[in-house]
Structures are given as C-alpha cells and as structure tokens.
Amino acid sequence: MNVCISVGHSHPRVVAAAMAQAQELTHCTTMFYHPAPAHLAEELAATMPKGHDWVVHFTNSGSEAIDLAMTMARTYSGNLDLLALRTAYHGPTAAAQSITGIAGWRHPGMPGNVAFVPEPNQYRGIFGPGTQPYLDEIDRTIATATTGKVAGIVVESIQGYGGVIEMPPGYMAGAAERVRAAGGLYIADEVQSGFGRTGDHFWAFEADGVVPDIVVMAKGLGNGFPIGAVVARKEVAAPMADKFLFHTYGANPTSCAAGRAVLAVIEDEGLQANAKRVGAALLERLLDLQTRHPSIGDVRGRGLMLGIELVKDRDSKTPDREKTAAVFESCRAQGLILSKSGPSQSCLRMVPPMCLSLEDVEAVATGFETAFRATS
C-alpha cells in the first residue's frame, strides 16, 4: 500500500514510456526546452480549476516542491510568517520540516517564521467536531503569533502522516479567506491526496470549492519515478522570475514521460472512479470491523485514502500505539502493507494503488480480521 504507486507497481505503460524516453535522452535540465516536461506541464495545468492561468515548475521531490511553494508565497506577498497545521507532514528538507507539525519528524536547525494552528481533527481535535472554532483560531493565531500579515497557509487537503485527517466542510475555503485577508496565499499540499485518490475529485481541495494559489504535488505523479511539481497561479509565480532557480533533475524527461503516462492511465483506466467504488467497499468493511473490535476507535477517509485509529478504550480515546504496531506486524506477515501514522502512531493508514479491486478488498478485510483476532 504505497501512496507513490498511483496506478500499480511497474505499470507497463508507465515503464514503457520511461524506457522509451530514457533510450532517447535520459537527462536534460530546465535550462533547455524539452517537450516531455512542456506537455506534462500543460496536462497538469488542465486539471486545475478553470478561469485562471496556471504555471508549473518541476522539482525532484515533494519536499523541494514545498520549499519552492514557501519561497514563492514569501516572495509574492512580501511577508515572512507562514501558517501550518499541527499534525501536518510536509517533508524532510529544513523548510518543509519547519511547517511539519509532528515532533517525531522535526529535527534541530529548522528556519522559523511559522505559526501552527490546531488541526480540525473531527475525532480528537481540541475543539471537538465542527469547522468554525478551528477557523476562529486561524484569526486568533494571525492576530497573536504573526506580524498580522502572513505569506500564506499550507494545508494537506487530507493529512497523510498525521493519520488521515480530513478537513471538515468549509475549512479549506474558510482558511483561504482568512489568510488572504491577512495578505497571504492558500497553498494546497496534494502530495498524498491528489490524482483522483479521494474518488469524488481529481484534487482533494475541490471538495471544498476552494481555488488554491499554489498546489504542491509529487509521489503519485511519477508512480515511483522521482518527480515533484509546484502548480501556481501565473501572477503568484511571476515575481520569482527575477532570480535563478533550478533543480538539476527537475523536469527530467524520463520522470516527466512517466508522469505523462500516469495521467493517461488514470484517465484511460478510470482509476478515479475505481478509487471511489473500491474505496467505498473498503470503508464499509472497515466500519464492519469496528463493530466487532472495540480497539478501533475511529474509521475515516475518502476513496482510497483511509485510516483506522486504535485506542485503549473508546471513552478516553487514549491512542493505542502498541496494539497498532502489533496489528501492523500481523498484517505485514500476511503480505498486507500498512503505514503507522499520526503523532502517536496509532492510525493504520491505507493508501493503496488506485487499481485496487473489489477482490483485493476481501483479502484486506480478511487480513485485518485475522490480525485483530491474533492480537486481542
């Protein structure tokens, strides 16, 4: 279950496209024109909300794309302070760590000028369920923990390593409104939630009708080939043109050829619709599992981005890290690969290839049943 593998391990069309490109010209930087990144940029821009001009810059990874988005927001707005969400994960580079809200991923030496707002976790968030209290906190944070002017806010449309935390209705749009009123931009991190994985939409931010100023993507775009991208509104990216910025392997033609094939496969094989259908079936099985196993405190997610949170008891909601690790290991022994996520590593996160079938769902449900029985 690997979020990088959007269309299936070693998908023949993706492998063939990358091989053909590698045999012709493996490497070429953005300093020179090459059709593969140019076409991929056009294809990605076409997936963005209509009515705006979008520009695309390719990077080597998701965290480099996050770094660029942060620099872009600070350059465009002229403000330094950025808002990020607690329990967010945005990558390992120093800048990406500075907006990551999980202690286990933060190391000494990160840059500052970041203020964190509470994640609107509907299961265990500090204000309980709902949207408004979390939006009010954005205003309070801007008023107290920044200069009053911000560069932007970075939001994973569904938090991944945070433990599959969905943004409740109105949160993304409300956050964008508040941050824009303070001079900043709305940056959507779609590294995990994008490319149709959530089923209803190609980009998870679309669920809220918000139009981001910058969208960051990686992982599933390459189906295992290294690639990241920043897609920004043209006027937002324009001030960056005053200086040089390039990544040696950004816009690498081999990775871009793979990326183009990924987009084509998602379309041709109807993988967004498949994520919706198969994800709904898996969610149903997980909810059924919850009725029989009291250690499952919460089941959540959308499409093929799902999680179950394990607790010591449902009233206290105390995270059960040990049980989570035991279920994880039992599943792994059966060939079912999950991720231990969340600040307490008490959420089993499922982000399988979007070609998962209904038969696979049965195997996953059986694997879980065996694991929960073996560990109870």
Ligand X SMILES: Cc1ncc(COP(=O)(O)O)c(C=O)c1O
Long-range residue pairs from 94-100, CB within 8 A, at least 24 positions apart, any chain: 95/63, 95/66, 95/67, 95/70, 95/71, 96/63, 96/66, 96/67, 99/66, 99/70, 99/154
Q: CB nearer to ligand X: give 63 or 122.
A: 63
**Which residue of 99, 151, 179, 191 would you call a contact of ligand X, by CB under 6 A?**
191
- Report the alpha-carbon distance of residue 79 to residue 147 in Å, rounded: 9
- Report the alpha-carbon distance of residue 135 to residue 170 in Å, rounded: 9
**Which residue of 77, 141, 146, 192 would you call a contact of ligand X, by CB under 6 A?**
192
Binding mask 215-244 for ligand X (x = CB under 6 A): ---x---------x----------------
What is the per-residue burial (b if ≥16 Cβ within 10 Å, else e) of 116-138?
Answer: bbbbbbbbbbeeeeebeebbebb
Q: CB nearer to ligand X: give 97 or 131.
A: 97
Size of the chain, expressed as the number of residues it contains: 376
Give first-to-last CA distance, the chain, whole Å.
24
Binding mask 284-303 for ligand X (x = CB under 6 A): --------------------
Nearest-CB residue for ligand X? 62
* 160 interacts with ligand X by CB under 6 A: yes
CB of 287 to ligand X, least distance (A): 25
- Going by C-alpha positions, the residue among 354, 351, 331 that lies closest to residue 341 is 351
Rg for the chain, CA atoms, rounded = 20
Q: Are strands 347-350 and 228-233 parallel, antiparallel or unpaired?
A: unpaired
Q: Which stretch binds ligand X (CB under 6 A): 58-66, 146-154, 303-311, 335-343?
A: 58-66
* 195 interacts with ligand X by CB under 6 A: no
Q: Which stretch binds ligand X (CB under 6 A): 75-83, 185-193, 201-209, 230-238?
A: 185-193
Classify the C-alpha dihedral 213-219-225-226 as positive or negative: positive
* 100 interacts with ligand X by CB under 6 A: no
Q: CB nearer to ligand X: give 190 or 320.
A: 190
H-helix or E-strand spanning residue 297: strand 296-302
* 89 interacts with ligand X by CB under 6 A: yes
Judged by CB under 6 A, how many residues of this single chain contact ligand X? 15
Q: CB nearer to ligand X: give 119 or 156.
A: 156
The answer to whether the beta carbons of residues 168 and 130 sit under 8 Å apart is yes
Q: CB nearer to ligand X: give 63 or 295.
A: 63
Q: CB nearer to ligand X: give 295 or 344.
A: 344
- Report the alpha-carbon distance of residue 254 to residue 225 in Å, rounded: 8
**Which residue of 66, 68, 150, 232 would you call a contact of ligand X, by CB under 6 A?**
66
Q: Which stretch binds ligand X (CB under 6 A): 61-69, 72-80, 121-129, 357-365?
A: 61-69
* 188 interacts with ligand X by CB under 6 A: no
Binding site for ligand X (CB under 6 A): 61-63, 66, 89-91, 156, 160-161, 189, 191-192, 218, 228
